[in-house]
Amino acid sequence: MKRNRLLSTIAGGVAVSVLAFAGTAHADQPVDDIAKIVENVPAAVNVAVDGVQASVDKLIETSSAKQTSARLGQALVATGTALVSGTVQFGALGLGFTLINSSVQSALAPYLDAIDDPSTAGGLINPDDLQTILNNLAPTVENTKPALVMGLVDLLEGDVYNGVGNVTVSGVLAAGELTNGTNYQSLIAPAAIVVLVAIIAGGSYLTDIGDALAPVFEAAAPATGSVIALLEAL
């Protein structure tokens, strides 16, 4: 039941965050949004400073890793929300940040509880996990290599968006496969959600960067061609 609630929360965070972009992708004032975000930076910094201070105060007051993490998560949500406040394309991300933070805190809870009270750790921290990770290493490299190679080739060819996406996907897949069968596997899903939202958020900007750098990639093609050939031969 707890797992279902966690997955529902993660799914909700993804849905809200994706809709925040996809639902307003037609916005005709992206530059205004960027300008608004820049304008929000001082206020967001103040929120972040206050949030970090509150987290430190909570740690001093309670010596609790779990309560400190919760306060720090709230600070990060508040900072992100303040940063996109008043924007058209990114304004709905506040709820997405909240749901993602909820899933992250849920995943971290057993480990934070173990820090606060080592007697609750039980089999959470298992020396066998390291051996499992080592056993997973070879198949992980083999299974994630195609996405990594594809991403590196995309980057060398100037396709920044797909390059970053494929490299990121390979990293997420690698983390999941490496921790498969260990107590750390539950931490991967929240991290993957954050990465997914970040890629979606930066999609149009990564494309713009690739377009702007196109002449550079074209000029470097003679040098990068041989590297691409080696990568594709792996």
For residue 146, pLDDT over 70 is answered with yes
The whole model's pTM is what?
A: 0.53
Say whether both 42 and 146 belong to one domain.
Answer: no
pLDDT digit string, tens, across residues 80-114 = 888 888 887 776 677 778 877 887 787 788 788 88
Cα-based angle 85, 95, 174 (whole degrees, multiple of 5): 110
Q: Considering all CA atoms of the chain, what is the largest pairwise distance in Å, rounded to the nearest integer? A: 61
Say whether both 181 and 209 belong to one domain.
Answer: yes
Say whether both 105 and 215 belong to one domain.
Answer: no
* Sign of the Cα pseudo-torsion (224, 225, 231, 234, in order): negative
pLDDT confidence bin for 21, thresholds 50/70/90 = very low
pLDDT, position 26: 44
Say whether both 148 and 131 belong to one domain.
Answer: yes
For residue 187, pLDDT over 50 is answered with yes
The phi-psi region of residue 32 (left if phi > 0; otherwise alpha if psi is between -120 and 50; otherwise beta) is alpha
Contact present, 188 and 98 (Cβ < 8 Å): no
Domain count, the chain: 2
Domain, as residue range, for 20: 1-124
- Among the candidates 82, 101, 124, a domain finishes at 124
pLDDT, position 144: 86
Pinpoint the alpha helices (H) of 86-187: 93-116, 128-156, 160-178
Say whether both 119 and 176 belong to one domain.
Answer: no
Say whether both 116 and 10 belong to one domain.
Answer: yes
- Of residues 32 and 29, the one with the higher pLDDT is 32
Contact present, 75 and 47 (Cβ < 8 Å): yes
User: What is the SS3 string spanning 188-226?
Assistant: HHHHHHHHHHHHHHHHHHHHHHHHHCHHHHHHHHHHHHH
Give percent above pLDDT 70 in the chain.
78
Say whether both 12 and 118 belong to one domain.
Answer: yes
* Sign of the Cα pseudo-torsion (196, 200, 205, 210, in order): positive
Contact present, 110 and 124 (Cβ < 8 Å): yes
Q: How many CB atoms lie within 10 A of CB 163?
A: 20
pLDDT confidence bin for 120, thresholds 50/70/90 = confident
Q: d(Cα 115, Cα 80) in Å, to the nearest integer?
A: 28
Structure tokens at 184: 């750390």
